[in-house]
Structure 1
């Protein structure tokens, strides 16, 4: 709730500015009661490949040909547009957006921003307002397998696109495994194909700069991690009956012993973890952190990045 009050307040201050002004970009944990989930009803025609075909997410520069220019690259032009899901290959990524009075988004967008600066020292309430116009990066600096030489953190230099995700923790039910999935009930989901069923063969995950520096230094909401703290991505499947599977867990930050471990490069989620999801129609993503309030949820910024999702049609 601290974040809700902060971003609603900041939204009133910034929302009357032009939506094309990058300094007026607003996104983080705003009140979902204000935004609602109408964008999740958007449909895009997708054709399933033949049984046995493996499809790997291929993010091309054309996805950002009309993107919004910011420090170090571009992000998706529809980030703040309602009723727009992101569709790439056979994958449909959930997305909620609005620019009515203030800017808000959750779900997934595409970016090629190469900026890993720590913006967590803002002077406004909460100390996180420096992140508001700079929430588009990944600690690797570029998508997985960038063909050009890209040094992370070099403003004005961009590499291959990748997916940025923001999880709206105020929307999702806690521990949803065993329940029935609906698109409108979850912030971050990926639909695979149309009516086919798929096994998940591969996935690359990367740390987003906001939670990275929040775990390292704090950001006004988040506290610097200490021994015993951890931050994780939870990945659920949805089977052919619409039932949500038990999650697999991918650690993003872990303070074990005397050191904080946070990989900055792309990390492959272990194949045996992904296979444990079984055969699925959707993937659902949630997050967890030891830096959390029992009533208001995570203080750690709820962002992560992904690339090279690979699936095989089973039937």
Structure 2
């Protein structure tokens, strides 16, 4: 919530006018055109594959043909366009946005940005202003499967696309397991297929640069992690009755041992954990951190990255 308030406040103060042309706010004409086209795409029904078929998320470079150019690559052209979700294969990713008066988004976007710079030393309000124009990366530097010759942070290189997510905790009910799911009640969800039921066969997760450096060095909101601190991604399923399952937890940063552990490569969520979600229609994502405010929520930046979601239709 605190990050959301920060984005809105900074946007209103600056109008993001200081950003380079690479990150300019969409003009009202362009925003309207993109909104119209995207809304039409979002209404297109997804066709379920036949029972027994396995589908793995395939993020191609064509998703970024008209993307917004920034340091190290491109991010999704509709990032700041309202009333549009990101649709890839049989997956529909939640997305909320505005470009009226300020730029704001949450949910999921696609990016191929190969930039792992620490932008947390900005002199503006909160010390995090440098991240606003550079919130598009992943610590792995590119999507899973990119050639090992493309090193994270190498100037002028881009790799395979991947998904970047921003979780707006103000939208979500806490500890939702056992309750009935609705799309409007959650910031970050993925709908699988149309009416089918699916088992989750695979998923890869990576830490985003903002929380990585926030846990390491602090960022104006976040404090550097100390012994006992931890930061994790919570993944819920939604079953055939619309009921939210118990979550599985995937560690992104952990200082419960003798040192801070933050893997920077793509990590598999174990098949055993994924199987515990059961057969699902949706996946829902939340986050948790020991560096949190009782009123405003997490101080750790609420970003994560994912790739290679794989599901099998079972019904």
Q: TM-score scaled by structure 1?
A: 0.92
Distance 1:309 1:220 in 2: 33
Greater shift in the superposed pair: 4-13 or 149-158: 4-13
1-structure distance, mates of 2:87, 2:19: 23
Deviation of 1:293 after TM superposition, in Å, equals 0.6
Q: 1:202 to 1:4 in 2, by over 3 A?
A: closer
> Which residue of structure 1 lines up, in the alignment, with residue 29 of structure 2?
none
Whole-Å Cα distance in 1 between the matches of residues 164 and 2 of structure 2?
24
Instruction: Give the alignment's Cα RMSD to 1 decimal.
Output: 1.9
Residues 188 and 284 in structure 2, CA contact (< 8 A), matched pair in contact too: yes
How big is the shift at 1:173?
0.4
Matched residues in 2 for 1:290 and 1:283: separation?
24
Residues 25, 133 of structure 1: 8 Å contact kept: no
**Secondary structure in 2 matching 1:9:** helix
1:77 aligns to 2:77 (yes or no)? yes
Residue 263 (structure 1) aligned with residue 263 (structure 2): yes
1:299 to 2:312 alignment: no
Deviating more after overlay: 252-261 vs 66-75: 252-261
Conservation of the 8 A alpha-carbon contact between 2:4 and 2:168: no
Residue 98 (1) aligns with residue 98 (2): yes
Provide the residue aligned with 1:124 in structure 2. 124
| Cα separation, 2, equivalents of 1:246 and 1:314 | 20
Does the CA-based 8 Å contact 2:142-2:161 persist in structure 1? yes
Q: Distance in 2 between matches of 1:217 and 1:75?
A: 26
1: distance between equivalents of 2:85 and 2:2? 29
In structure 2, the residue corresponding to 1:117 is in which secondary structure?
coil
Give how far 1:13 is off. Answer: 2.5
Cα pair 1:181 1:242 within 8 Å, conserved: yes
Aligned equivalents of 2:16 and 2:273: distance in 1?
46
Q: Aligned partners of 1:98 and 1:19: how far apart in 2?
A: 17
TM-score under structure 2 length normalisation: 0.92
Number of residue pairs aligned between Structure 1 and Structure 2: 302
Q: Is residue 199–residue 313 contact of structure 2 (8 Å, CA) maintained in 1?
A: yes
Offset of residue 257 of structure 1: 2.5
Q: SS of the residue aligned with 1:259?
A: coil
Match of 1:168 in 2: 168
Contact 1:198 1:313 in 2 (8 A): yes
Equivalents in 2 of 1:108, 1:301: separation in Å?
15
Matched position secondary structure for 1:260: coil
CA distance in 2, matches of 1:24, 1:62: 22
Which SS does the other structure have where 2:251 is aligned?
A: strand
Q: What is the match of residue 147 of structure 1?
A: 147
Tell me how far 1:207 sits from its aligned partner: 0.4
